[in-house]
Amino acid sequence: MGAAQQFPVLGVPLLHLSPLFITTHMQNIHDLKVDFDENQDGLIIQKSQNITQEYLDSLKEHRFETKHRPSGDYLRVASIPVIVIEKWMREGFDFYNEPASKIVAKLKADGLDGFLTTDKQV
């Protein structure tokens, strides 16, 4: 993941999984951008979300910090941008009904492990 990246896709509210939780919040991320265009095939809707290096760095820092402290009752596993969740849902990956372990595996398989907030076993 480079500096600021755009993920072209289709908002998902905050999601908590107890005792593990994964967030889809917008902290340090610019809002979704929706563009409309039209061609001979009809209306085109393109959504994108700017993901800054600052945001990715904050997740990396949180991931490092979790190595050196106990988890307690809750463990923040990942912070996934809305745009990624929407893409997965369109592809048939039901984010809302998958266990945290499968979500972590999906992030890793898609090369999006930069959104993980812990290296601990889920």
| pLDDT tens per residue, range 41-85 | 888 888 888 888 888 888 898 888 887 777 666 778 888 888 888
Q: Which helix (H) or strand (E) holds 61?
A: helix 53-66
Q: Can you say how many angstroms the Cα of residue 56 is from the centroid of all Cα atoms in its chain?
A: 11
| 5 pLDDT more than 60 | no
The confidence band for 6, taking pLDDT boundaries of 50, 70 and 90, is: very low
Extents of the domains making up the chain: 5-115
Taking a C-beta distance cutoff of 8 angstroms, is the pair 112, 84 a contact? yes
Distance CA 60, CA 54 (A): 10
